[in-house]
Amino acid sequence: MFVRDAYRLAERTDAPTPAMPGRLPRVPDLSTEPDAPTPDLADWASWWQEVLAADRAARSRQPQPGSPPDDYARAALQRHAIVDAPDFPSLAERPELQRATQVAFHPFHRWWNRGPDRPRSTGQLSVPGFKGELVDLIHPSPGPGIANETVRRIEQNLGRRVAPFNVDIDVLGTAGPENLVQEDDYALVSSVLISDPQRFSAWLEQMLLPLA
């Protein structure tokens, strides 16, 4: 997503879709740098779909609930290895996109890990950059959180404890759509959904009910 927006490959995303999510905030413009790469939007879009497919395959090999912590750590590393930074050898057949990702690698880290100071509410974690904004959004304050509150509401409505389940939700900091990918035990959602507690809670309840 950062590469697409840094090279201004989709200046107008009027109707974001899972194939073309909305833009990230405050991404620097690398397209005007001297000798800037000129990647093709179609190449980026095919790469995005390949990343989603590879991530889906990696998640199919996730450890079962109750597995040793090392198994979960190993699985997380396998998912992160899908994007083979910083050289991106998997993009060798798309050389201009490969060069764009290589050039964008360090600017991405600066954008992700550093940023202007911003007011923080009580209980927010001291994580800098855009990463910190997403962390603050997911963990806005002390307390049980929306996920636990939603599970309690489901249990009250059912009159029993829910069955054990394992659900992963990844948050993409884009301007929509709210729900990019949804499967039985996984979802990729945008920060637009997470930023609306009532809408997120209602969506989460509908996702968890079949697993309860």
Q: pLDDT 10s per residue in the chain (212 long)?
A: 999 999 999 875 556 666 778 889 889 999 999 999 999 999 999 999 988 888 888 877 777 767 788 877 777 777 777 788 899 999 999 999 999 999 999 999 999 887 555 555 544 456 777 888 888 877 765 555 888 899 999 999 999 999 888 888 888 898 878 888 888 888 999 988 888 889 999 999 999 999 98
* Inter-CA distances, 91 with 56, 73, 118, 194, Å: 19, 26, 37, 32
The domain locations on the chain are 2-113, 144-211
Among 199, 104, 208, which residue's Cα sits nearest to residue 152? 208
Cis peptide before 86 (omega within 30 of 0): yes
> Whole-prediction pTM value?
0.79
Please tell me the number of Cα atoms within 13 Å of 124 on its side-chain side.
17
The strand pairing partners of 171, in sequence order, are 189
